[in-house]
Structure formats: structure tokens, C-alpha cells
Amino acid sequence: MGPIGWGIVVGFLAWFVIRCVLGGFFTVNQNERAVRTRFGRAERIEGRSTLDDPMSATLRAEERDRYEYPLVRVIPPGGPYFKWPWERIHKVSVATETLNMAYDPEDPRANRNGEVLEAVTKDQLNTGLTGQIRYRVSERNLYAYIFGVKNPLTHVMGYFISILRERIANFEAPPQAPNDSSTGDASIANPTIGVSINDLRKNLRDLNEHMDRECASSAARYGILLDASLLTGIDPPADVESALAAINTAYNQVSSDISLAHASADQKIVQSRRAVEIETLRAQSEVEPLEAMARQLTELKAAGEGTLALYVRNVRLKLFGKARRVVVEVARG
């Protein structure tokens, strides 16, 4: 073999060492997970699928066969690891991300540049929704995220928005607790009860909790776990907003007047009760000496016939001693 041949061999060996040996080492960051593929096929855990994982319990019966993915071997953070040239490493970040719920991954200019999501209420009002969602890649279903869906985030956002719009269109406020007779019927006192915008605004927490429950299957579907959804604002059209503001202002004024009337009535009732108590105590204080005197006279009378007369005589003498002038009736002969 001539010098050129030896040069080709040495060059090939050098390329092989650099390309396959030195270039085959890789690491996985702390907030990343990785999946290895050999000739395009991911390393799988044989005989197991996502249906064996508890996350699939959120799927309906008719969805289980549709969203059955194989479980893959996940490469944890660390390294260095080694791969051959025919192997490929797919890294994904598992850190929690925050996203505006109006964001459209396919068209960032949609939904007013990803700021406001529109939805129709049961009153046929086109409202604007603002809020955020927190999501992260599910480490237990990396196959669906990397290989099962072309654009998982687009699917998850479409899934979330469809559920949200369906809930907005059919939302009904939970029944109000019955009020007592002193406050009257709440539906008569509050004309805004039954208005979908006000019902939605008053029940934002229930709406967010409903979205969390309905989107619990996103990890089994698309490999993305929705940690939380936070719907922060519901804005109706300007003309409807002004009308609702006027209604709410009038209702607040009426509620204030009713509250003041109830407070005044309660205060008068309390004052009346106290006046009755005072008069009752005053009457008792006047009756008590008379009853005591009656008991004393009864005891004197029981002691003997002359005892009562002597007692009356002593009382008269005591009164005569305090009097400045005495008028004595004299019988005319």
C-alpha cells in the first residue's frame, strides 16, 4: 500500500475516532430528559404501554385504544452518556412553562396577537377571555410528545380552548342558598342574577377548577401535563359592559338602601327590647316593696289582734314626727 493509501486509512480512522467516539458522548441537563432511538425506533419497555400507567385513568373508555403509546426508556439528567452513529438522542425540557391561553402556536397574530381569546356565552354575547396556563412535558409519556403528535403544543392549546369555549357557552351559576325572610328573595333584589357575564365573573374559581379536571387527560393524550389554568378576566362588548355597569350601580344603591333599612329596623328592635326590660325592672322595683309590706302586715295580723293596731299607731307617730303641719278631722256634734 502506497503513501496515499496509508493516508486514506489514517484519515478514515481519525474521522471515525472523532465522529463516532469523541462525538458520541453527550450529557443531559437537570431540567431535561432524553430518549434514544436506534435506526429511528425508540428504546421501549417491552410489554408495557401508557395504559398501564395511572395517568391513563383519566381517559374515557372509547379513548383508551386511540391514545395507547409504548413506554420508552427515559435517560435521566447526568452523563456523559455514549451513543453510536446510528443512534439519535431526542432531548426535551421538562421545566414548567407559562403561556397566555390566547396564544396560537400556528399563528401568533391570531386572537389579537395572542392577548385575548373570544368565546360566546349562553346569552349569545361575544366575550373576551384573558388568562394563563401552566404546562410541562410529561416524563411518563415522552413517546406521545416526541413521536406521537407532530406539534403537541398546538394540539393541547386546541384541546384546552375547545373545552373552555364549551364551558363558557353552557355555564350556569350554582344555585344560591335560600335567604331568610328578613332579606327577601335574592333573585328579586338582585336583577343581575342569571346574567351569564356576571355568573362567570362570580364563579371564576369554579371555572378554573372545572378546566383543571377536564384537561387532566392531556398527559395521556399528548404528553403535556397542564399544571393549572388561571382565567383572570372576562370582558364583554363595550355597550354590554356599560349596561351591566349601570345595572350593577343601581343594584348596589338598592342593596345599600336595603342594608341601611335593615340596620335601622334592627336598631329599633334592640332599643324596644331594652325599653321593655327597663320598664319591667322598674315595675318590679315598685311592686317588690308593696309585696314585702303585705307579707309583713300579714305576719303582724297573725301575731294577734292588737299587734296590727300597735304597728299602725307606731307608723302614725313616726309620720307625725316628720310632718310640719297636721290636719285633724273633728266630728261635729
What was the pLDDT predicted at 304?
72
pLDDT of the residue at 109: 86
In sequence order, what are the residues at sequence separation of 6 or more whose Cβ sits closer than 8 angstroms to the Cβ of residue 100?
114, 115, 130, 131, 132
pTM: 0.62
Report the pLDDT value the prediction gives residue 9, as an integer from 0 to 100.
Answer: 67
Q: What's the confidence (pLDDT) of residue 333?
A: 58
Q: State the pLDDT at residue 123.
A: 77
Residues of the chain with pLDDT below 70 are 1-2, 4-7, 9-10, 12, 15-23, 174-196, 237-248, 305, 333
- Give the CATH superfamily of 6-238: Band 7 domain (3.30.479.30)
What's the mean per-residue pLDDT of the chain?
A: 80
Half-sphere exposure of 33 (CA within 13 A, CB side): 16
Of the candidates 168, 185, 89, 166, the residue with the CA atom closest to the CA atom of residue 128: 168
Q: How many residues does the chain have?
A: 333
C-alpha cell at 235: 370582558
pLDDT given for residue 37 in this prediction: 92
Would you state the pLDDT for residue 195? 53
Burial class (CB in 10 A: 0-12, 13-18, 19+), 129: buried
**What are the boundaries of each domain within the chain?**
6-238, 285-319
Q: What is the pLDDT of residue 72?
A: 92
Please write the tens of the pLDDT for every residue from 31-62: 999 999 998 899 998 888 899 888 888 888 88
pLDDT of residue 189: 45
User: Could you give the C-alpha distances from 101 to 10, 94, 128, 188, 217, in angstroms and in order?
Assistant: 57, 19, 12, 37, 18
In DSSP terms, 135 is beta-bridged to 97, 226
Interaxial angle between packed helices 152-170 and 204-214, expressed in degrees from 0 to 180 and rounded to the nearest 10:
140
Which helix (H) or strand (E) segment holds residue 81: the answer is strand 78-82
pLDDT of residue 245: 65
Provide the pairing of β-strand 97-100 with 126-137: antiparallel
Per-residue pLDDT, 182: 44
| The pLDDT of residue 1 | 60
